[in-house]
Amino acid sequence: MAVFRASLFHTSYGQQIRNVLHFHKSDAVQADMTSLAINLRDRWIDFVKNTQSNKINYYMVQIEHVGDESPWPTLQLSINITGNFFSSEIFNFACMVLQLKTDFGGRHGRGRNYISGVYSSDLSNGVWNAAQLVRFNGLVATLKDWWTTPAGNFTGFDLVVCPRSDPTDFHLVTDIVPRATPGTQVRRNFFRGA
């Protein structure tokens, strides 16, 4: 059994952003780390960029085996992917929040992921406008097809929610739901609490 921490590194106006997701694969081998990095590049970042500003630039996918004693070194895949939308009205602190839901109740049964690079014009009275909601709902439907159980999971990796203290105590993500209101990027010092 392997649990992987995937860090998607990108910049926005020079600010470094690290977006962290966790995945499980029961019969993993070391080559799966490369496969996961490529799948995240092609089937997460490539989808998400369609809702993001062209000021967002993804430059690395990092995969770490976490949990039990890690038998494999950290893998880093260099990339160069830019958001698809053009505007000068970017909200550098605001983001779309994806709620990660599991079949397990309580705070240990849910997670969230922040998608930065949104515009002030995407909002109407403090909530996402209709056009942005259509884009977000399309993104979420695609991500669910590729990464959740039982919807699709075509990659062979299960998106999971787990505590930092014990990544092997994970719960499979069964649903991804976009929040109607924007969130604020969570600021953490790099490599603290990871």
Q: Measured between alpha carbons, how far is 52 from 26 in angstroms, rounded to an integer? A: 33
Lowest mean pLDDT among 129-133, 168-172, 183-187: 183-187
Q: What is the pLDDT of residue 106?
A: 72
The tokens describing 7, both together, are 């860090």
Q: Measuring CA to CA, how many Å separate 50 from each of 47, 53, 142, 153? A: 6, 8, 12, 21
Q: Are 5 and 167 in contact (CB under 8 A)?
A: yes
pLDDT at position 5 over 70: yes
Rounded to two decimals, the pTM is 0.88
The tokens describing 150, both together, are 């039982």
Q: Measured between alpha carbons, how far is 96 from 87 in angstroms, rounded to an integer? A: 17
Phi, psi of 57 (to 5 degrees): -135, 115
The b-or-e profile of 95-119 (16+ CB within 10 A means b, else e) is bbbbebbbeeeeeeebbebbbbbbb
pLDDT at position 77 over 80: yes
pLDDT at position 155 over 80: no
Q: Are 182 and 123 in contact (CB under 8 A)?
A: yes
